[in-house]
Structure 1
Amino acid sequence: MFDDISSSSLRVAAAGLAARQSAIANNIANIETPGYRARKVEFEDALAGAIKRGDSPSSVAPSTKSSLEPTRLNGSNVNLDEETLSHIDTTMRYQLTLRALDTKYSMLRDAIKGA
């Protein structure tokens, strides 16, 4: 019931988006740190691939990689504009994912209550 493909996919998406938010916050916090390499979190392709193959979405974990973007004079490659846009996009996706989970669990709650 709680381990169907849609529930598992939504939980993996929420975890991946939360990891991305954390990476964005770290990137922004370290924008002036000499030599700091921005981190990028990826999970969408792995999640889509698992679903297409019929594998369990819960086997997908977000991966964090260092950005290969060019660096500034101090060696940091954090781009504040890019991080800000990514933060907005990730926040909106996270809210949508939570709403979908909430709706799914509300339907289950109503079914259990017999409403």
Structure 2
Amino acid sequence: MAFFLPPSFRIVENALDAATLRQRVIANNIANVDTPGYKTQRVEFESILKEALQEDKPTTFIGKRTDPRHLSIGTAGGPEEVRARVSTDPTTWVENNGNNVDVEYEMTKMAENQIWYNALVEETNSFFTRLREVIKEGR
């Protein structure tokens, strides 16, 4: 089935994974609001994807890996291979106990992430609806 999917679909799939991870990380931040010394974690995806899209890479042959244990052939990477990363922000302090979780900010980010996730799901559903129409030959 993967040969039917364009590279842009892989980007949307990775963005969905990032949004899911971001929701878990934000929930974890909120759960640790009273934990002394806890530092807020963030999920980085959009900035990494933007960098990958802006890079001018020479077009070379890239072998498709069907298993992560396979060796890479050609230049690996590209926007469709971008994965989310979790980072910790040790620089700011909100509480005297060293905790830097701001609940209002985290709740705002959670709502924003939910809207983003819903948009990605709609895009995925739209893709499969169009694919279904093509398979049924427009009937």
In the superposition, the TM-score normalised over structure 1's length comes to: 0.91
Q: In structure 1, which of residues 89, 107, 113 is the aligned counterpart of residue 112 of structure 2?
A: 89
Higher helix share: 1
Root mean square deviation of aligned Cα: 1.4
> Could you say which residue in structure 2 is the equivalent of 1:64?
86
Are positions 1:47 and 2:70 aligned together? no
Gaps spanning 5+ residues in structure 1: where?
Answer: none
* Higher alpha-carbon deviation: 26-35 or 55-64: 55-64
Taking the aligned partners of 1:13 and 1:96, their CA distance within structure 2 comes to 11
* Higher alpha-carbon deviation: 54-63 or 93-102: 54-63
Task: Kindly name which structure, 1 or 2, has the bigger radius of gyration based on alpha carbons.
Answer: 2
Q: In structure 1, which of residues 103, 107, 113 is the aligned counterpart of residue 126 of structure 2?
A: 103
CA drift of 1:57 comes to 2.5
Contact 1:12/1:57 (CA < 8 Å) preserved in 2? no
Identical positions, percent: 29
> Could you say which residue in structure 1 is the equivalent of 2:73?
none
Contact 1:5/1:56 (CA < 8 Å) preserved in 2? no
In the superposition, the TM-score normalised over structure 2's length comes to: 0.76
Q: In structure 1, which of residues 1, 7, 20 is the aligned counterpart of residue 22 of structure 2?
A: 20
The number of equivalent residue pairs is: 114
Q: Deviations over 1:67-111 (max 9, x none)?
A: 232241122110001101100100000000110011011100111
